[in-house]
Amino acid sequence: MTRKLSYREAMREAMHEALTNDPRVFLMGEDVGRYGGTYAFSKGFLDEFGPARIRDTPLSELGFVGAGVGAALGGMRPIVEVMTVNFSLLALDQIVNNAALYRHMSGGQFSVPLVIRMATGAGRQLAAQHSHSLENWYAHIPGIKVLAPATIEDARGMLAPALADPDPVVIFEHAGLFNMEGELPDDWTVDIASAKVRRTGKDVAIITYGGSLPKVLAAAETLAADGVEAEVIDLRVLRPLDTATIAAAVAKCHRAVVVDEGWKSGSLAAEVMARIVEHAFWELDAPVARVCSAEVPIPYAKHLEDAALPQPEKIVTAVKGLLA
């Protein structure tokens, strides 16, 4: 059996379940209480769970993420919501210099079971300040896990294991997916350690994550109509990367395209390409290709925004270039 729900509803269910089942869990962030969350993820939570567990914070990411670190060190299980990824830069000191390092610098005496959720990505005409894809910045940091749920199943299922993890977990939720609807099976299972094959194929491996997954699946449908069967890999866990699944897909298909909404320079796509070269170089029949965002601040105008971002047509062109 399955039931239909949206990405937003799936994440809301996951948080509701966590708050209901574990009194150590609480939610904090800007507008998560009376307003119900900037994206309506916590609508109704304040009335149900009260202000001690649904905590509106001042407009100070450095301050309230730091409070979350302290609460986690004290035995709580905080879910800290950062409204959008560009605001998280104000809290980098707490995330990178504190949360990520406590286990190492305490010789294993302390852990920080903290979950930080943030909206990421472009495609909604929010212009340069609110269209960042900075997942690779966080995936660079030892001591944290980085997740990018791109399906209803992962939106529903990744929060529980993230809260159970003794170390910090950062969850990037692509805002372009919030209204996406899908079927959630009754017997779903989710982990926060492995990539997932979303479509099987034999001609080319297309590797992606987050908001680019629906575009890659659309491109795969177009390619299939032309007789090209693409294997689609959803990374979904950006740190640690599931190198084995990436290498297996390349060994099977012998060609690979990496699709990443981040900018090409210093991108997560570049890291994936390096892993392919390190672990599956001799399996390749063509150079690895990538489709990334244009190297510009993301424009506001819709036609320019679309032109700057990876699109199904660009993915199809990249694949056909490898097969020519």
Q: Output the domain CATH number for residue 120.
A: 3.40.50.970
Identified catalytic residue from 9, 30, 81, 130: 130
Residue 87 lies in a domain: yes
- 164's tokens: 């159970």
CA distances from 153 to 6, 159, 182, 219 (A): 10, 11, 9, 21
141 in a structural domain = yes
Q: Which residue range is the domain that position 67 belongs to?
A: 2-185
Instruction: Tell me how many domains the chain contains.
Output: 2
From 9, 30, 61, 305, the catalytic residue: 61
Please list the alpha-helical segments (H only) found in the chain: 7-21, 45-49, 61-73, 92, 102-105, 135-139, 152-157, 159-164, 213-225, 243-253, 268-280, 302-308, 312-323
CATH label of the domain that carries residue 224: 3.40.50.920
Looking up tokens 């609480």 gives 26
Task: Please give the share of the chain, as a percent, with pLDDT higher than 70.
Answer: 100
> Based on the domain organization, do 173 and 209 belong to the same domain?
no
Amino acid identity, position 124: R
Q: Which of 157, 185, 213 is the last residue of a domain?
A: 185
Answer yes or no: do 214 and 67 share one domain: no
162 and 228 co-located in one domain: no
Asked if the model's pLDDT at residue 1 lies above 90, the reply is: no
Q: What pLDDT was estimated at residue 321?
A: 97
Classify residue 191: in a domain, yes or no. no
Residue 244 and residue 132 in one domain: no
* pTM for this prediction: 0.97
Same domain, 37 and 177: yes
Asked if residue 100 and residue 20 are part of one domain, the reply reads yes
314 in any annotated domain:
yes
The verdict on 8 and 142 lying in the same domain is yes
Mean pLDDT of 26-42: 96
Residue 186 confidence (pLDDT): 86
Tell me which residue has tokens 């914070």. 57
- 263, containing H or E segment: strand 256-263
Asked if residue 190 is part of any domain, the answer here is no
For 166, other C-beta atoms within 10 Å of its C-beta total: 11
DSSP 151-217: SHHHHHHSHHHHHHSSS-EEEEEEGGGTT-EEEEETT----SS--EEEE--SSEEEEE-GGGHHHHH
Cβ-Cβ contacts under 8 Å for 185 (sequence gap 6 or more): 1, 2, 153
CB 85 within 8 A of CB 133: yes
- Whether the per-residue pLDDT at 95 is higher than 90: the answer is yes
In this prediction, residue 168 has a pLDDT band, given cuts at 50, 70 and 90, of very high
How do residues 192-227 score in pLDDT, each as one tens digit?
999 999 999 999 999 999 999 999 999 999 999 999
- pLDDT bin (cut points 50, 70, 90) of residue 182 is very high
Q: Where residue 175 falls among pLDDT bands split at 50, 70, 90?
A: very high
303 lies in the same domain as 247:
yes
Residue finishing a domain among 185, 211, 227: 185
pLDDT-derived band of residue 263, with 50, 70 and 90 as boundaries? very high
| pLDDT at 324 (0 to 100) | 83
- Residue 61 in any domain: the answer is yes
Same-domain status, 14 and 68: yes
Q: pLDDT grade, residue 311 (50/70/90)?
A: very high
Task: Tell me if residue 140 is catalytic.
Answer: no
**Percent of the chain predicted with pLDDT > 90:** 98
User: In this structure, what are the phi and psi dihedrals at residue 239, rounded to the nearest 5 degrees?
Assistant: -145, 120
User: Residue 261 has what pLDDT?
Assistant: 98
Q: Would you say residue 67 has pLDDT above 90?
A: yes
> How much is the pLDDT for 58?
96
Exposure string for 109-129, b = 16+ CB within 10 A, e = fewer: eebbbbbbbbbbbbbeebeee
Whether residues 181 and 204 share a domain: the answer is: no
Residue 201 has a pLDDT of: 98
Are 159 and 209 within one domain? no
Q: Where are the alpha helices (DSSP H) in 80-158?
A: 92, 102-105, 135-139, 152-157
**What does the pLDDT look like over 116-133, one tens digit per residue?**
999 999 999 999 999 999
Tally of CB atoms within 10 A around 87: 18
55-77: average pLDDT:
97
pLDDT at 187: 87
Quick one: 133 and 207 in the same domain?
A: no
Per the annotation, the verdict on 295 as an active-site residue is: no
Residue 207: per-residue pLDDT: 98
Tokens 């992606």, residue located: 208
